[in-house]
Amino acid sequence: MKEKTVPDYTYETAAKNSGFTYVCGVDEAGRGPLAGPVFAAAVILPDDCPEIEGLNDSKKLSEKKREAIFGIITEKAVAYCVASASVDEIEEHNILNATFMAMKRAVEGLNVPADYAIIDGNRTPDLDIPCGTLIKGDSKSCSVAAASILAKVTRDRYITELDQKYPQYGFAKHKGYGTKAHTDAILEHGPCDIHRMSFLKKLLGDKK
């Protein structure tokens, strides 16, 4: 049977053993949706951080569980920051660079400055501190998993609020992702000002 992968503090400990003091985990939420900003979070967990029950990659958790763990993370963390890059920035700089912008803002927004960052994925943003990448880091590192939850919950809350302004699209249900209900709504009503037009080229074709 395949061993279950759950995040632990191994990577943070290794960085601390190399001489770093404040190690933050960094992850994003919202690279794939057709609408809304991309969000990123940076989290520094304490050395004696108690095991947060259920802490894992945000995609593996229910919305209710993410909301519950969100409060625990923000209470226990040494420092945390959630930042974003706008739809305009996504359109101008592309989604990868906009994601890096959000990550950089999250790290720089920590009220306790980090001196090392563990970045989910295989590429790093342009940070002023040393950093390392960790593929599937939200399933391996506690601080990256915590960052994934903060970014995901914050983005979901933001998009859900937009549902009141744009009720015809159903943002509260699909959070901006390209579900059939969402794409059908775009085709019926046309895109709104929070849609990423570069993501809609194939869908809209000559209908823009």
Say whether pLDDT at 76 is over 60.
yes
Specify whether the CB–CB gap between 63 and 138 falls below 8 A. Answer: no
pLDDT band per the 50, 70, 90 thresholds, residue 60:
confident
Q: What is the pLDDT of residue 51?
A: 66
Say whether pLDDT at 89 is over 70.
yes
| Residue 40 CB neighbours (<10 A) | 34
Q: What is the pLDDT of residue 50?
A: 56
Q: What is the pLDDT of residue 205?
A: 83
Say whether pLDDT at 3 is over 80.
no
CATH architecture of 10-165: 2-Layer Sandwich (3.30)
Percentage above 90 pLDDT, the chain: 81
pLDDT in tens, 118-128: 999 999 999 99
Cα distance between the two ends of the chain = 50
DSSP track, 149-182: HHHHHHHHHHHHHHHHH-GGG-HHHHTT---HHH
Say whether pLDDT at 78 is over 60.
yes
